[in-house]
Amino acid sequence: MQNRKVILITGASSGIGKITAIKLVEEGHIVYGAGRNLSGLNDLIDRGGHAIIMDMSSQESIEKGVRKVISEQGKIDVLWNNAGFGLFGPVEDISIEKARYQFEVNLFGLADITRKVLPFMREARTGLIINTSSMGGKIYTPLGAWYHATKHALEGFSDCLRLELREFGINVVVLEPGLIETGFTDGVLGHFPRESAEGPYRRIVDSILSAAKKKAIRGSDPELIAKTVRKIITAKNPKTRYLIGKLAKPLVYIRRIFGDKIFDKILLSQLR
């Protein structure tokens, strides 16, 4: 295959990471999918991909994974930082330990693997880094303070990184999905502090949990992300941001044009 690339994807054991990793293997790329357990990576292995067991909160685990790719392929053309999860709940009810772990996975682990890959990309004077943010990096939702904090931070991190790496021929792209049918909501419910349902914030908690469980709004097909990542990888000059998926553009547009107070009213009107 012409333009066959060595691609390292974190968060490849489920959701958009898994689906996209398999698609890229089928197109002929050399894909290493990283995840916390092997069971979620078996489908990738069956298609001819490679699996790496990686804990994004462990520097040792991250370094071992990067070294494996380099030792076997001699390079990494594309790093897709896709691993992450959503920690939702009232700020008062979420421990700082849990909040730190949210940052460890969504931001610091991402930064660590990026730092370990960069020397090889710099030496080659080429490379592509895709950071999965979210429309949540541009907007906000009730009870999502820690999750949105990581995504807002990732937006700024990516912008600075893009400027630092320009002279080395390395592109940095931010992927900003909206609602995607990936099981993200189930993950949010799994991390939700149960005591909040009976606490002082129970009115807003009940509204959020009820909406999440009903899944009133269906997200976009995960194939949309796979197609977009493929587009980014094959583009000669990719855009700095790709805002895609259900509600992403409308919600970001509303906040940008009408401001925070109107956006607040819209969000709160959905919680009655």
**Which residues carry out catalysis?**
13, 133, 147, 151
Q: Which residues pair with 35 in a beta bridge?
A: 53
CA distance 10 to 55: 10
Closest CA to 270 of 141, 146, 181, 134: 141
Single-letter code of the amino acid located at 201: Y
Q: What is the enclosing helix (H) or strand (E) of 67?
A: helix 59-73
At residue 197, φ and ψ (nearest 5 deg) are: -65, -20
- At residue 148's C-alpha, the angle toward residues 247 and 267, to 5°, is 50
At residue 124, φ and ψ (nearest 5 deg) are: -80, -15
Strand-strand pairing, 127-132 and 78-81: parallel
In Å, what is the CA distance from 147 to each residue of 92, 98, 140?
Answer: 14, 11, 9
- Report CA Rg, the chain: 19
Closest CA to 171 of 130, 124, 120: 130
Contact (Cβ atoms closer than 8 angstroms) between residue 21 and residue 12: yes
Edge-to-edge strand list for the sheet holding 50-53: 50-53, 30-35, 6-10, 78-81, 127-132, 170-177, 241-244
